[in-house]
């Protein structure tokens, strides 16, 4: 198993992760929602490999709560798209067994807050099995997790639990921010021989964007990416937060401030090469996330920047996050979740140093 706590730029990629070529008959560009892009990526992965199968609550004829698996049961049947009981621990335990027998199971956790009944199976079993087998056995399990807020839902439906799993050696965590990335990253996650948590920003499911089907347009899933260039402040985020950062950057530009935006894409491992290069250029950094701040992914990024680019910093690395409280009732989520105004306030503080 690859050491996933090294920089993505220096880690060894999984064997066999080259995206499949697109046939000449296919259109090279489609405009899809993020949910449809994941659906299309799942379908392509199932066409490419008969060992890929899906498991989850209501993912079959219903197509899942968010319809991400819509039509797949009708096409591939109930032996490859399995409706399961409401038992996350059992679902993930079954996926581990299937992986040991050569399958590539893709598990759906219906909502982020429902992952905790399966927490033990993920962190003490799935994440450690390859290590226990001294690399002789791979466990290619993908766990799809709709996560994050902005949908006005009730408790346990809007959380961002990524830090729990990023802390666990043996797991890969990725989160697409665009339909294009969603299409390609889900296929790469399925081809990975290591377990992958595929975190889907559910508030962006209905965002439309161009998906380029030419395999040459796919960026490796563990690479972070500069999505807007700037010279004065670097903004860093993942998932749904990327759209908020781009909104803040537009407002900042209107006010005369040049802001660079980096989409992490991968949460474990984190590709720090574009991050450090950006910090060396701007000297100021704001890291933003929906999750609470304490012992978070944003905290880890801030600490690493301070270690690797200390002499390039003109101000402390600032963090913008959800508050260190349980997720509030839906009517208060607008006060809890970071928005462009909170990001811009941090930008102003960074520039004031």
Closest CA to 121 of 86, 157, 140, 96: 96
What are the start-end ranges of the E strands in the chain?
A: 29-33, 52-56, 81-83, 104-108, 142-147, 172-174, 196-201, 208-212, 225-228, 233-237, 259-263, 266-268, 285-292, 318-322
Ordered strands of the 225-228 beta sheet: 225-228, 259-263, 233-237, 285-292, 318-322
Closest Cα to residue 290, out of 249, 331, 328?
328
The catalytic position among 157, 180, 222, 238 is 157
Question: Cβ(207)–Cβ(246) under 8 Å?
Answer: no
Cβ-count burial 54-78 (b if 16+ within 10 Å, e if not)? bbbbebbeebbbbebbbebbeebee
Q: Would you report the helix, strand and coil content of the chain in percent, each value rounded to 5?
A: 40, 20, 40
Q: Quickly count: other Cβ atoms within 10 Å of residue 229's Cβ.
A: 12
Residue 232 contacts residue 282 (beta carbons within 8 Å): yes
**Is 157 one of the catalytic residues?**
yes
For every residue of 32-60, DSSP letters joined together read: EEHHHHHHHHHHHHHHH-TTEEEEETT-S
Query: For residue 145, what is the DSSP state?
Result: E
Phi/psi of residue 313, nearest 5 degrees: -80, 135
Encoded tokens for 113: 């807050």
Sign of the four-CA dihedral 257, 339, 32, 269 = positive
What are the residue numbers of the active site? Answer: 157
């Amino acid at each position: 198993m690859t050491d996933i706590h090294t920089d993505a730029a220096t880690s060894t990629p999984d064997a066999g992760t080259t995206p499949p070529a697109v046939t000449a008959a296919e259109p090279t560009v489609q405009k899809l929602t993020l949910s449809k892009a994941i659906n299309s990526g799942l379908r392509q992965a199932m066409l490419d490999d008969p060992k890929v199968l899906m498991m989850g609550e209501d993912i079959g004829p219903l197509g899942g709560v968010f319809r991400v698996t819509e039509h797949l049961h009708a096409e591939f049947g109930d032996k490859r798209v399995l409706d399961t009981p409401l038992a996350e621990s059992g679902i993930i335990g079954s996926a581990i067994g299937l992986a040991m027998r050569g399958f590539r199971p893709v598990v759906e956790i219906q909502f982020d807050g429902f992952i905790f009944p399966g927490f033990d199976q993920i962190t003490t079993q799935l994440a450690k099995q390859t290590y226990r087998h001294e690399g002789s056995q791979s466990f290619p399990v993908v766990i799809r997790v709709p996560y994050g807020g902005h949908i006005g839902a009730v408790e346990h439906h809007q959380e961002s639990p990524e830090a729990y799993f990023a802390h666990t050696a043996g797991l890969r965590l990725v989160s697409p921010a665009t339909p294009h990335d969603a299409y390609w990253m889900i296929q790469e996650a399925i081809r990975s021989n290591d377990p992958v948590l595929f975190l889907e920003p559910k508030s962006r499911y209905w965002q439309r964007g161009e998906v380029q089907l030419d395999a040459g347009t796919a960026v490796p899933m563990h690479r972070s990416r500069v999505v807007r260039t700037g010279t004065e402040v670097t903004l860093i985020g993942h998932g749904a937060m990327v759209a908020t950062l781009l909104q803040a950057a537009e407002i900042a530009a209107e006010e005369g401030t040049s802001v660079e935006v980096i989409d992490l894409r991968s949460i474990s491992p984190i590709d720090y090469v574009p991050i450090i290069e950006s910090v060396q250029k701007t000297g100021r950094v704001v890291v933003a996330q929906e999750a609470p701040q304490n012992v978070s992914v944003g905290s880890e990024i801030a600490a690493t920047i301070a270690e690797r680019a200390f002499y390039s910093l003109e101000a402390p690395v600032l963090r913008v996050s959800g508050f260190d409280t349980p997720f509030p009732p839906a009517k208060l989520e607008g006060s809890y979740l970071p928005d462009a105004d909170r990001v811009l306030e941090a930008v102003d503080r960074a520039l004031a140093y």
